Structure 1
Amino acid sequence: MDLQQEYREELQKVQDRDFTHNWVSSSAFVFYLSVFCFVAFTFGTCARLYTERYNKNKFEPKVQESTLYTPKYK
């Protein structure tokens, strides 16, 4: 009988420390993981927008001279 009681106590200790059996620690872990992922995604997006700015890749398209505000004819 003493062995069964010791086994139950040891099993209870393992279950208390286990991620899947303790919903309080697992929900806190999932919350902090989601906050970290959100912050990392936001920072990565801002960094990408900063490095690939519109002005950096600005180009001048070819426009026919006859369609300008002051058209030039041949």
Structure 2
Amino acid sequence: MDHQQEYQEELQKVQDRDFTHSWVSSSAFLFYLSVFCLLAFFFGSCYKLYTKRYEKNRIEAVQTPSTQYTPQYK
């Protein structure tokens, strides 16, 4: 009978430490994981926008003389 009680206590210890059996530790882990993923996505997006902003292959728009600030008509 003593072995059965020791087995139950050991099983309870393992389940307390197990991710799938502990709702509190699993929800905290998933919360911090989601925060990390959102921050990584945010900073990755900001970095990509920053590097694309100064790209040298820009197309220069041609402005016709009639649409300038002081238009020149023919």
For Structure 1 versus Structure 2, the TM-score category normalised by the shorter chain is 0.7 to 0.9
Q: Which residue is equivalent to 2:23?
A: 23
Q: Does 1:48 align with 2:48?
A: yes
The Cα offsets for residues 2-54 of structure 1, whole Å up to 9 and x where unpaired, read as: 11101000000000000000000000000000000000000000000000116
Identity of aligned residues (%): 72
Distance 2:48 2:41 in 1: 10
Q: Which residue is equivalent to 1:37?
A: 37
In structure 2, the gaps of 5 or more residues are 67-71
Aligned length: 67
TM value normalised by structure 2: 0.78
Distance 1:49 1:57 in 2: 15
| Change beyond 3 A, Cα 1:60–1:71 | farther
- 1:2-17 alignment, distance < 5 Å: 2-17=2-17
**Secondary structure at the counterpart of residue 50 of structure 1:** helix
TM value normalised by structure 1: 0.78
Alpha-carbon deviation of 1:57?
3.5
Distance 2:15 2:55 in 1: 57
Question: Considering only aligned residues, what root-mean-square deviation do their CA atoms show, in Å?
Answer: 2.0
Q: Segments of 4+ in structure 1 off by > 4 A?
A: none
